[in-house]
Amino acid sequence: MKTHTDLWETESIVAMLDQLGFPKNTSKIFTDPLGRIVWVDDAFVNATGYSLEEARGRKPGGLLHGNGTDRSAIKRMSRAMKSHSPCRERLINYTKSGSAFLADVEIRPVFSSANELIGFAGSSLSAPAPAPTRQPGRQGNPALADGGIAGQAIIIADARGVVRSCNRQAAALFGYEPEGIAGVLDLRALHDPDDLARLSTRPSAGTTAATIDHETYLACVTAAARKQDRVWLMRRSDGRCFPAALEWNLLSGSGPDIEGLAVTVNPRNGVGGTSAGTFNEIVAPLIPGTIFQLRMSPGGHFRIPCCNMRFRDMYGITPESVTDDAHAYFERVSEQDRARIIAEIHDSASSMRPWQSRYRLAESMSGQAPTWHEVKAVPQYAEEGDICWHGFIRDVTTSLAQAESLQRHQQLMLLLSETASSFIHLPLEKVGDVIQEALGKVASFLDVDRAYVFHHDPAAGATSNTYEWCGPEIAPMIDKLQQVPFSLFPEWIRLHDEGQDICYPDVASLPDSPMRDLLLLQDIKSLVTVPMPSPSRGCIGFIGFDSVKRNRNYTPQEIHLLHLFSRMLASIEERRVESENLANARQQIENFFDVAIDLHVVADLNGRFLRVSRAWEDLLGIDTESIHRKKIYEFIHPDDLEETKAAMSELGAGGQVMGFTNRYRGAGGDWRYLEWRSKMISNRVYASARDVTNSRRAQEALASALQSEREAAEVRENLISMASHEFRTPLASISLAAEMLDKIAGEKDARTSRLTKTILDSSDFLAEVVNDVLDYTAISHDQPSDRRMELDVQSWLRQVALAYSARHGTRNPLRLNIGPVPRVSTNPSLLKRALLNILDNAAKYSAAGCPVVLDASLLEEHLQLVVSDVGIGIPAAAIQSLYEPFFRAGNVGTIRGTGLGLSISREAILRLGGTIACASNQPTGSVFTIILPLQA
Amino acid sequence: MSESANPDSPASRACAVKILVVDDQDDLRENLCLFLSLEGYQTYEAGNGLEAFELAQQHEPDLILSDLVMSPWDGRRLIVELSKNDRLAHTPVVLLSAWTDQHNIDECLRLGALGYITKPFKLAQVARAIKQGLERGHHSDSPTRTASECE
């Protein structure tokens, strides 16, 4: 029996399908109007694993569709078939063995000439082809690796991310039954949630896989996967995670929207094992350069059948262009190196030793630094007599430049440290030579044309070129650059003061300025200057380097080293200045020690002279050199030794000794008194002595003179006292005798009475003279403070008034005017004597009945006592001499007086710290004013 | 040395008040005694302190008028010795001296002198001092000393 399908001869079906114009590389089937398979071609058999016999009579959907197949696509297809319309869908199909593959399916209805449906023709483009296209170990082009290797795990999901199907590898990889995944899991559930959370554009602590919506997930994951720059962390059903690379293919429908996704999961090391493909994909891009295979035929023809995509970046030519002929590669090698490396390759071929070399690339732009490549490749014999090198090439331009610059810096460092060490222990006078030499060395090394050092002169506000080194044919400038005012380039000075260097790689490109003009005038193309900082004095100058012949760039490291050099020069200069200062200071001390009048000495605590001034030579009569070896005790008076040693130990205890005096044996053998000021500082005694012998002797003489004077005064005082006694005794006899005579005889005889009265008056006056002389002497030597006491001025003045009345009765009444006066501290008996003398005078030289007035008042913290009378007054000419002892004015007439009263008063007032003054309006009376401090 | 009294004098009527005058200067001592006897006192004379002390023990005078500087025994010694003697301790002593310095005067008054009269003096001063001294000696067992007029 023949089925209706038998009606169709294979040939006629093939012919018919050809007419439909399906693409040649598709697999094709033909069904009857009910959709049952009538015929399949070999391609279908290959793609699905079903034979024609197995397929015939079955519906394609029943054969090929599975869990991963898009249901909506199936519906659309069946709708189209029912309406006898063509349709086209991309959907997941499954092979007989269960592997999923993506199929681009086109179905067209086939009508008879009578327009009757006779069946459906289908074509399917399978991609990815689940066929084993590559074998591990075979060299493909790693850069073209595009996935789809046999045995890869593939998962199909719909547009919403729901897993529709997966192949066995995928199911095994994730630990699910193939059926268990479809329709159940979201793609997101196959990821490690934490890993997925990192996709979030705004990650936060609470972000989990669930919070990333599907659209975001899709957008991020597909973008990331397309770039292949990420290894994902996937999660198995048992919770274990594994890393994997994901490859995404979007399954587009008829419209612009995607219909679904096919995800290829390539596990990385560990879970799924590695393959050469994975190795190439992952490792190759990580290599800093290209890995390649170079083949040389026995005829010497080179080709590069295999290399990764970095090759294109490094050489600007595609890997394809050298697959059959390496000519283009060799073209890219610089002409200078090309012949050499070809020779090296030949050498490697004949010796079978690795080819290892560096070469430059042909320069694309003139003036640019060349690009250097380094190659390492291992040769091996290959089929057909070829020699095949496997190896890699990398760009070493940067590392070579770094190495070179490092080497230069090391050399410069070495140079600087050599220079620095040459300065140690260098005598100062040779510093200049060494600086000059170092400058030349550094300049030569830097390959500049001129190097120089400037030192500032802050006092002059100028800077001067102190050292200069010039390259060949370069004119020296040093003579022209002396005392250049700071004001010519203030900015320059300011930057240097702040410790900044100034570097102009291209002077010509500087903005217009006097500075630029000045530099251009000297033909300077580039320059660098670095300040010389001194810790104590700020910027003391700068060093600089000019390039005249060509532009010169400086690396930061070079400038850093120049700063070191500059600091080194600054410290040398510092040392030189300090040494000079020290030498000057030493010389100054020498000079002072030479000229000093005083005796300066530095001694140790044992009393040994370490250093003495020249004056010692004159004192001791020994030259200073001889003194230096001796101890001070050798010269000291034996009686002063103990005290001197005590003073030394006081010094040793850290004290200082001032005004100590001892005696030294002088050059002439006499003893000289030395007065010392000395101090101990760090175990050295610094002392200065003065020969006080002469002043001491003068002092002694003065003291003895004073003593004699004092003794003489005492004798004089005693003498006066004695004399006064000797006067009084006979006076007492005379006076008594006269009185008795008057008593006995005077009553009867008026003449006797007159005579005895004369005797009595004269003896009274003599007694008064004696009293006054004695008083005057006593007051001159009295100390008023001895008997000082607080006085109530009012009551005290009344006592004085009583005494006055006792002496003068009522002949000249005393009037007291006492104002408000405070208490006064003074010696009352002295003051009373002074005041009474003046009152006595007032009464004595006034006519009977004329009053004497005493005013007391407070005047600017002083007690003022004024005695006025209306007596005979004092001639103006006499006022000056009024207080001289025994002086009496010319107008006293026959009035008796000793001429001592006012002397006594004045002496007493002076003793009390007061003053006395006299104003006289002769003949209308005298006014005496006494002014006393409230505290004598 | 000697003793004298003027029976007509007022003092004699007052039952012979005894005054011992001590001075090494004869004329002065004799004139003083003359004056005192004219005033009616019974007088005794001594040329130095020691002699005066012996006479005082013998006659127990009512007042002693004494010079200061004498030998043996000066006026000060005389005062000191008198003060040690029970019977004579309260005898008033008025000193007469050519020494005028205040220290000396103060010291004598402190020792127990009733008065100090500086030489030369007026007889009126002497009379006043004797009067004061006798009043003091009569009315007080512990005589308070009074400064003499030294001016």
Q: How far apart are CA A600 and CA A610, in angstroms?
A: 11
Contact B34 A739 (CB under 8 A): no
- Per the rule left: phi > 0, alpha: psi between -120 and 50, beta: everything else, A462 is beta
Least confidently predicted of A181-195, A390-404, A452-466, B78-92: A181-195
- Residues of chain A with Cβ-Cβ distance to B75 below 8 Å are none
The edge-to-edge listing of strands for the beta sheet with A526-534 is: A484-485, A462-470, A450-457, A538-547, A526-534, A502-504
Q: Distances in Å between the alpha carbon of A71 and those of A76, A78, A117, A165, A197?
A: 9, 11, 26, 12, 31
pLDDT at B12: 45
Cα–Cα distance between A647 and A603 in angstroms, integer?
Answer: 13
- How far away is chain B from the Cα of A906, in angstroms, using its nearest Cα? 21
Chain B residues with CB-CB distance to A739 below 8 A: 35, 122-123
SS3 content of chain B, % helix, strand, coil (to 5): 45, 20, 40
Closest CA to A831 of A874, A802, A863: A863
Interchain contact, B35 vs A763, CB within 8 Å:
no
d(CA A301, CA A323): 12
Q: What is the DSSP letter of A702?
A: H
Query: CA A837 to CA A274: how far, in whole Å?
Result: 142
Q: How far apart are CA A817 and CA A746, in angstroms?
A: 45
Say what percent of chain A tops pLDDT 70. Answer: 88
Short-list A580, A571, A622, CA closest to A599: A622
Chain B residues 19-78 with a CB less than 8 Å from chain A: 25, 27-28, 31-32, 34-35, 38
Chain A: nearest CA to B98, how far in angstroms? 5
A705 by Cβ neighbours in 10 Å (0-12 / 13-18 / 19+) ranks as exposed
Q: What is the mean pLDDT of residues A67-87?
A: 83
How does residue A470 score in pLDDT terms, banded at 50, 70 and 90? very high
In which band, very low, low, confident or very high, does the pLDDT at B3 lie, cut at 50, 70 and 90? low
Contacts of A550 (CB under 8 A, 6+ apart): A525, A526
Q: How far is A922 from chain B (nearest CA, A)?
A: 32
Average pLDDT, chain B: 82
d(Cα A532, Cα A542) in Å, to the nearest integer?
5
Residue pair B79/B94 in contact by the 8 Å Cβ criterion = no
Q: Is residue A366 predicted with pLDDT exceeding 60?
A: no
Q: How many residues make up chain B in this entry?
A: 151
A630-633 — which CB contacts under 8 Å span 24+ positions?
A631/A606, A631/A607, A632/A601, A632/A603, A632/A607, A632/A608, A633/A607
pLDDT per position as a tens digit, A724-766: 888 888 889 998 988 888 888 877 788 888 888 888 888 888 8
Among B9, B118, B119, B128, the strongest candidate for a mutation testing the A interface, having the largest count of A CBs within 10 A, is B119
Task: Indicate the residue of B38, B120, B123 with minimum beta-carbon distance to A728.
Answer: B120
Q: Which two tokens stand for residue A670?
A: 């006499």
Spell out a b/e string for A726-762, using b for 16 or more CB atoms within 10 Å of the CB, else e. Answer: ebbbbbbbbbbbbbbbbeeebeeeeeeeebbeebbee
- Chain B, nearest residue to A806 by Cα: B151
> Chain B interface, mutation test: which of A729, A756, A782, A805, most B Cβ atoms within 10 Å?
A729
Separation between Cα atoms, residue A797 and residue B29, nearest integer Å: 40
Q: A357 forms bridges with which residues in the sheet?
A: A375
Angle of helix A397-423 relative to helix A556-595, nearest 10 degrees, comes to 10
**The pLDDT of residue A204 is above 50:** no
pLDDT tier for residue A501 given thresholds of 50, 70 and 90: very high
Contact A740 B34 (CB under 8 A): yes
Q: Is the pLDDT of residue B146 over 80?
A: no
Q: Note whether A802 contacts B: Cβ–Cβ < 8 A.
A: no
Chain A residues inside the 8 Å CB shell of B121: 732, 735-736
Most confident of A92-101, A127-136, A439-448, A626-635: A439-448
Is the previous residue joined to A319 through a cis bond, with omega within 30 degrees of 0?
A: no
Q: Classify B67 as helix, strand or coil.
A: strand
pLDDT of A365 higher than 70: no
Taking CB atoms and an 8 Å cutoff, what residues of chain B touch A743?
35, 38, 123
A737 with B27: Cβ contact below 8 A: yes
Segment among A174-183, A380-389, A626-635, B6-15 with least mean pLDDT: B6-15
Q: A378 — phi, psi (to 5°)?
A: -110, 125
Instruction: State whether residue A762 sits within 8 Å of chain B by CB.
Output: no
Residue B71's alpha-carbon distances to A666, A867, B77, in angstroms, are 60, 48, 10
Query: How close, in Å, is residue A725 to chain B by CA atoms?
Result: 5
Q: Which long-range contacts (CB under 8 A, 24 or more apart) does A573-576 make?
A: A573/A455, A573/A532, A573/A534, A573/A540, A573/A541, A574/A534, A574/A535, A574/A536, A574/A537, A574/A540, A575/A428, A576/A428, A576/A431
pTM above 0.80, yes or no: no
Q: Tokens 């208490």 belong to which residue?
A: A823
3-state DSSP helix/strand/coil percent for chain A, to nearest 5? Answer: 45, 25, 30
| Residue A98 parent element (H or E) | none
Dihedral sign, Cα of residue A579, residue A580, residue A581, residue A584: positive
Pair A663, A675: CB distance under 8 Å: no
- Transcribe A346-414 into DSSP letters: HHHHHH-PPEEEEEEBPPSSTTSPPPEEEEEEEEEE-GGG-EEEEEEEEE-HHHHHHHHHHHHHHHHHH
A340 compared with A98, residue with greater pLDDT: A340
User: How far does the CA of residue B121 sit from the closest CA of chain A (Å)?
Assistant: 6
A651-655, A929-933, B56-60: least confidently modelled range = A651-655
Q: Distance of alpha carbon A75 from its chain centroid, rounded?
A: 80
Identify whether B72 is preceded by a cis peptide bond (ω within 30 of 0): yes
Q: Which carries the bigger pLDDT value, residue B15 or residue A383?
A: A383
Nearest CA in chain A to B124: A739
Burial A175-192 (b: 16+ CB within 10 A, else e): ebebebbbeebbbbbbbb
Q: Is A124 on the interface with B (CB under 8 A)?
A: no
Cα separation, A559 vs A529, in Å, equals 9
Average pLDDT rounded to a whole number, residues A856-879: 88
Q: Could you tell me where the DSSP H helices lie in A92-233?
A: 168-174, 178-181, 193-197, 214-227
Mean pLDDT over A68-74 rounds to 77
Selected residue with higher pLDDT from A228 and A291: A291
Mean pLDDT over residues A683-703, rounded?
A: 89
Average pLDDT over residues A830-854: 89
- Set of chain B residues whose Cβ sits within 8 Å of the Cβ of A829: 102
Q: Binning pLDDT at 50, 70 and 90, where does residue A227 land?
A: low
CA A145 to each of CA A61, A170, A229, A390: distance values in angstroms, whole numbers, following the listed order: 33, 20, 14, 19
Mean pLDDT of A39-68: 85
Distance from CA of B55 to the nearest CA of A (A): 24
pLDDT at B32 over 60: yes
Q: Which residue has the higher pLDDT, A273 or A445?
A: A445
- Do residue A729 and residue B27 have CB atoms under 8 angstroms apart? no
Distance CA A635, CA B2 (A): 80
A920 alpha-carbon distance from chain centroid: 86
CA A825 from chain center: how many Å?
Answer: 70
Which residue out of A736, A768, A772, A783 would a mutagenesis test of the B interface target, given it has the greatest number of B Cβ atoms within 10 Å? A736
The ipTM assigned to this model is 0.82
Q: How confident is the model at residue A224 (pLDDT cuts 50, 70, 90)?
A: low
**Cα–Cα distance, B97 to B84 (Å, whole number):** 23
- B35 vs A740, A778, A829: nearest CB: A740
DSSP code at position A36: -
Please say whether the beta carbons of A371 and A382 come within 8 A: no
Residue of B31, B98, B118 lying closest to A736 (CB–CB):
B31
B127 touches chain A (CB under 8 A): no
> Per residue in A571-617, pLDDT tens?
888 888 888 889 899 999 889 888 888 889 998 888 888 888 888 88
Q: What is the pLDDT of residue A355?
A: 93
Helix (H) or strand (E) holding A458, with range, is: none
Contact A542, A454 (CB under 8 A): yes
Least confident of A195-209, A448-462, A821-835: A195-209
Residue with tokens 């900015």: A491
Closest CA relative to residue A126, chosen from A104, A141, A143, A159: A104
- Rounded to whole angstroms, the Cα distance separating A824 from A470 reads 95
